[in-house]
């Protein structure tokens, strides 16, 4: 095949300052060759790389993504960030698999500052693999719109996934096989059981307790107004469910069903019938 028609992937590497970046630098100084279409971003530690960064890169059309850090037990920070990177990448591969993206498009490697040749070899091998896979979505049989939709809906679940997998994400154990830390079944049920929280307008008393406790200000709150959860901001932590006083019981956890539509803005004022007729519960106007 002529080099003119050859697919040139978009590839991104996020690499740590102390080791992998040093390896990349030595690779350049030593004039070892690797494809120029690989772009590198330097971060202080591979443990700084988040699920969100990787999904964002794929959402922006990256065909292959590389995370590089110091060899295990060589991390410059305490606790060692490369364990966090291992767990995060392992989880991310399963998330990619869940939405139909080939997990081979994401790769994690350790490179020391003295391993310029190793850096070049990894880049060459990985770029060949991505060239072989082709553009993101093509080998997966997904068109651009479907791909974007799947990545965006997974990105919305990231805070929930990180909360649910907090312990595994923080695991630092040299004896653990991180490639087997998460199973496909585990991720499938985690996603299918993702809860949503909804405030019943007929029960909400606008006491504001939930809005004060919500860690991300996802509850639209105003005095004497039925409270409404902004589903785009909600991280599904469940705090509002436990915060709502039992005598009101206005927050519901919903799994696997569509949420009732939110009450329109103009119909959220609570008419406190209870003040006029004892024994009746208040309800929103409308």
How many residues bind ligand SF4 (CB under 6 A)? The answer is: 27
Strands 228-229 and 106-110: unpaired
Residue whose tokens read 């909400």:
204
Query: In the bound complex, what is the minimum distance in angstroms from residue 197's beta carbon to ligand SF4?
Result: 4
C-alpha–C-alpha distance, residues 283 and 274, integer Å: 9
Binding flag, residue 157, ligand SF4 (CB under 6 A): no
User: Which residues 6+ apart lie within 8 Å of 215 measured at CB?
Assistant: 235, 237, 239
Interface residues for ligand SF4 in 223-242 (CB under 6 A)?
227, 229, 234-240
Query: In the bound complex, what is the minimum distance in angstroms from residue 284's beta carbon to ligand SF4?
Result: 11
Report yes or no: 78 and 37 within 8 Å, Cβ to Cβ: no
Residue whose tokens read 């004892």:
278
Binding flag, residue 250, ligand SF4 (CB under 6 A): yes
Q: Which residues pair with 66 in a beta bridge?
A: 13, 107
Binding flag, residue 252, ligand SF4 (CB under 6 A): no
Backbone phi, psi, residue 47, to 5°: -70, -10
Scanning 97-105, 160-168, 180-188, 197-205 for contacts with ligand SF4 by CB under 6 A, the matching segment is 197-205
Residue (99 or 204) nearer to ligand SF4, CB: 204
Torsion of CA 193, 160, 197, 264, to 10 degrees: -120
Binding flag, residue 222, ligand SF4 (CB under 6 A): no
Binding flag, residue 208, ligand SF4 (CB under 6 A): yes
Tokens, residue 243: 């915060």
Query: In the bound complex, what is the minimum distance in angstroms from residue 231's beta carbon to ligand SF4?
Result: 8
H-run or E-run covering 13: strand 11-16
Residue whose tokens read 């350790």:
110
C-alpha–C-alpha distance, residues 64 and 58, integer Å: 8
Binding flag, residue 19, ligand SF4 (CB under 6 A): no
Residue (94 or 236) nearer to ligand SF4, CB: 236
Which of 54, 219, 228, 263 touches ligand SF4 (CB under 6 A)?
219
Scanning 115-123, 133-141, 186-194, 199-207 for contacts with ligand SF4 by CB under 6 A, the matching segment is 199-207
CA atoms within 13 A on the CB side of 41: 15
Query: In the bound complex, what is the minimum distance in angstroms from residue 268's beta carbon to ligand SF4?
Result: 11
Residue (90 or 205) nearer to ligand SF4, CB: 205
Applying CB under 6 A, the residues found at the interface with ligand SF4 are 197, 199, 204-210, 214, 216, 218-219, 227, 229, 234-240, 243-244, 248, 250-251
């Amino acid at each position: 095949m002529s080099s003119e028609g050859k697919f040139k992937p978009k590839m991104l590497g996020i690499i740590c300052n102390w080791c992998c970046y040093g390896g990349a630098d030595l690779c350049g100084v030593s004039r070892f060759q690797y494809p120029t279409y690989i772009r590198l971003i330097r971060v202080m530690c591979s443990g700084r790389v988040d699920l969100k960064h990787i999904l964002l890169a794929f959402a922006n059309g990256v065909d292959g993504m590389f995370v590089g850090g110091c060899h295990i037990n060589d991390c410059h920070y305490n606790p060692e960030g490369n364990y966090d990177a291992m767990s995060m990448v392992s989880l991310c591969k399963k998330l990619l698999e869940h939405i139909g993206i080939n997990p081979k498009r994401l790769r994690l490697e350790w490179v020391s500052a003295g391993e310029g040749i190793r850096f070049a070899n990894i880049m060459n091998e990985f770029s060949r693999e991505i060239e072989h896979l082709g553009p993101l979505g093509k080998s997966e049989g997904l068109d651009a719109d479907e791909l974007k939709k799947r990545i965006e809906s997974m990105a919305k679940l990231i805070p929930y996934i990180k909360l649910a997998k907090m312990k595994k994400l923080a695991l630092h154990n040299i004896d653990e096989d991180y490639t087997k830390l998460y199973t496909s079944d585990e991720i499938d049920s985690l996603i299918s059981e993702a809860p949503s929280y909804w405030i019943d307008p007929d029960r909400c008393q606008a006491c504001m307790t939930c809005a004060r406790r919500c860690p991300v200000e996802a509850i639209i709150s105003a005095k004497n107004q039925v409270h409404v959860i902004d589903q785009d901001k909600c991280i599904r932590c469940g705090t509002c469910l436990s915060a709502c006083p039992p005598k009101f019981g206005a927050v519901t956890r919903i799994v696997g069903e569509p949420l009732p539509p939110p009450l329109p803005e103009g119909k959220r004022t609570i008419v406190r019938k209870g003040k006029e007729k004892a024994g009746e519960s208040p309800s929103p106007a409308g």
